[in-house]
């Protein structure tokens, strides 16, 4: 009873600006779920590139994904510098979100066989999605006090899982029963699904643009130039030496997020290789989404009780066990068990990484530091797949290749030992924030 009352009171004390911030995760997670993880890869093969050589379409799909990731890796620190510029922060978030929304809607107009147009819209939408997230993440420091950040960060990810999962569920029903929606076939349903994501993203982005005005007076809002951006990035990079915990955390994050991304990708590949139908994979994805909602909120509460670093350790240990389990996966039940395990910890690892990092950085340069965090996130999944391939080729065993990912988790968890938790930081650092919003 006490636990339930505490959770209700915790949600009740979240103010309007914090709810509006968290709702943006609800908004843009529809793109991550329906487009990136769900329909785009399948539809690209079966519809847009139906008259194209499989190897050719695969090459350009991979090239498009790599190009989008590379551009974000290069741009994230510069975008982070922009995020420190007060009013410019909200304008850039709105502009990049608009780019993502419009490009996602553009997928609706890409016809059969028009894969170059489809992949162009996809790359631009991904840039808008990832770029806006740099500004969105940096707002956490502005709208939440240090003691609130684990809880608010977890709320954002939790709403993202729920919102993305709800729309994806509707989109799946649209493709399975297109006649219920007055649509001709599954292909038309998928095209309308892309348009629904754009509308969902646009509508639920309105609250953050209306109410998260804290950012406007939180930091400097002077004139900005590209030269200034590069200068600020260089200053921040040099300043990392004075913030030992921050750069150690960035290295740890790069390692374990690389492991997380590789496990997810290899699990899906395993599912396909053992002959599971696409409907089973979609069901597993829905499981991750809806389990992720309460589990992520629980991780936020756990972090407040035992500390974010210990809670992160728990999540990463589950990934270690899941990696070992995945190497012995043989059937559909095993794949669903894996999906449940990942759903329990995926959002927690992501949300606590964001909130823990917010305690380790100077509040007056939080945008640039979050730019580096996003850069590390996009640079992830580079080492893992290569390592898996090398080990599998050298040993002749794909199972041993998958087990090699444990090296990434071990390295990340070892480095986390040298990262202080919030209660271990100096008193002045714990209370240093750009804003102190009270309940509205």
* Residue 74, domain member (yes or no): yes
* Residue 344, domain member (yes or no): yes
| Whether 168 and 289 share a structural domain | no
| Whether 76 and 182 share a structural domain | yes
Number of domains within the chain: 2
Calculate the average pLDDT of the chain.
Answer: 80
pLDDT in tens, 389-405: 788 778 877 778 778 88
Whole-angstrom distance, CA of residue 189 vs CA of residue 108: 10
| Whether 264 and 203 share a structural domain | no
CB neighbours of 166 closer than 8 A, spacing ≥ 6?
Answer: none
| Whether 24 and 79 share a structural domain | yes
| Whether 205 and 252 share a structural domain | no
Whole-angstrom distance, CA of residue 303 vs CA of residue 244: 22
| Whether 255 and 174 share a structural domain | no
C-alpha dihedral, 192 to 196 to 197 to 198, nearest 10° = 100
* Residue 354, domain member (yes or no): yes
Q: Does the pTM of the predicted model rise above 0.85?
A: no
| Whether 135 and 178 share a structural domain | yes
Give which of 184, 168, 160, 146 is closest to 434, Cα–Cα: 146
| Whether 130 and 189 share a structural domain | yes
pLDDT in tens, 39-81: 887 787 778 877 666 556 666 666 676 677 778 878 877 777 7
pLDDT in tens, 361-386: 877 667 677 777 877 877 766 677 67
- What is the extent of the structural domain holding 111? 14-212+227-241
The single-letter DSSP state of residue 6 is H
pLDDT in tens, 200-212: 999 999 999 887 5
Question: pLDDT at position 199, please?
Answer: 98
Whole-angstrom distance, CA of residue 104 vs CA of residue 143: 29
**Residue 337's CATH number:** 1.20.1250.20
Cα distances from 273 to residues 14, 36, 267, 331, 419, in angstroms, run: 45, 20, 10, 10, 39
| Whether 134 and 235 share a structural domain | yes
Question: pLDDT at position 220, please?
Answer: 46
pLDDT greater than 90 at residue 23: yes
| Whether 207 and 279 share a structural domain | no
pLDDT greater than 60 at residue 278: yes
What does the angle CA 117 – CA 123 – CA 124 come to, to the nearest 5 degrees?
Answer: 90
pLDDT greater than 50 at residue 221: no
* Residue 8, domain member (yes or no): no
* Residue 373, domain member (yes or no): no
Question: pLDDT at position 349, please?
Answer: 95
| Whether 261 and 199 share a structural domain | no
* Residue 144, domain member (yes or no): yes
User: With bands split at pLDDT 50, 70 and 90, how would you rate the model's confidence at 28?
Assistant: very high
| Whether 197 and 120 share a structural domain | yes
């Amino acid at each position: 009873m006490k636990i339930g009352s505490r959770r209700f009171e915790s949600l009740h004390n979240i103010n309007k600006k914090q709810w509006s911030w968290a709702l943006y995760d609800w908004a843009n997670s529809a793109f991550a779920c329906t487009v990136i993880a769900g329909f785009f890869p399948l539809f690209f093969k079966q519809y847009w590139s139906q008259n194209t050589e499989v190897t050719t379409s695969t090459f350009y799909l991979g090239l498009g994904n790599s190009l989008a990731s590379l551009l974000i890796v290069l741009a994230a620190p510069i975008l982070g510098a922009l995020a420190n510029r007060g009013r410019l922060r909200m304008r850039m978030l709105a502009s990049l979100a608009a780019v993502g929304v419009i490009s996602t809607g553009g997928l609706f107009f890409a016809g059969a066989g028009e894969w170059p147009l489809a992949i162009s819209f996809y790359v631009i939408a991904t840039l808008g999605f990832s770029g806006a997230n740099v500004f969105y993440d940096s707002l956490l420091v502005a709208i939440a006090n240090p003691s609130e950040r684990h809880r608010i960060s977890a709320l954002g990810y939790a709403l993202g899982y729920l919102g993305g999962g709800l729309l994806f569920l509707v989109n799946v029903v649209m493709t399975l029963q297109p006649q219920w929606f007055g649509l001709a076939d599954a292909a038309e349903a998928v095209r309308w699904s892309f348009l629904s994501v754009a509308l969902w993203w646009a509508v639920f982005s309105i609250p953050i643009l209306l109410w998260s005005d804290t950012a406007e007076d939180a930091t400097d809002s002077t004139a900005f130039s590209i030269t200034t951006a590069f200068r600020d990035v260089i200053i921040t990079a040099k300043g990392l030496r004075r913030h030992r915990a921050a750069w150690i955390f960035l290295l740890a994050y790069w390692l374990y997020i690389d492991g997380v991304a590789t496990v997810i990708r290899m699990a899906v590949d395993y599912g396909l290789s053992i002959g599971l139908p696409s409907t089973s994979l979609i069901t597993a994805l829905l499981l991750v989404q809806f389990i992720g909602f309460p589990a992520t909120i629980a991780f936020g509460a756990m972090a407040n009780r035992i500390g974010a670093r210990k809670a992160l350790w728990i999540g990463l240990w589950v990934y270690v066990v899941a990696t070992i389990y995945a190497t012995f996966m043989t059937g559909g039940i095993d794949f669903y068990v894996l999906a449940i395990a990942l759903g329990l910890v995926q959002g927690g690892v992501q949300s606590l990484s964001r909130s823990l990092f917010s305690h380790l950085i100077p509040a007056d340069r939080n945008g640039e530091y979050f730019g580096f965090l996003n850069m590390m996130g996009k640079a992830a999944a580079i080492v893992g797949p290569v390592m898996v391939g090398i080990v599998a080729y050298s040993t002749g065993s794909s199972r041993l290749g998958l087990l090699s990912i444990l090296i990434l988790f071990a390295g990340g968890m070892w480095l986390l030992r040298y990262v202080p938790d919030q209660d271990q930081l100096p008193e002045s650092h714990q209370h240093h924030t750009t804003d102190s919003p009270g309940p509205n």
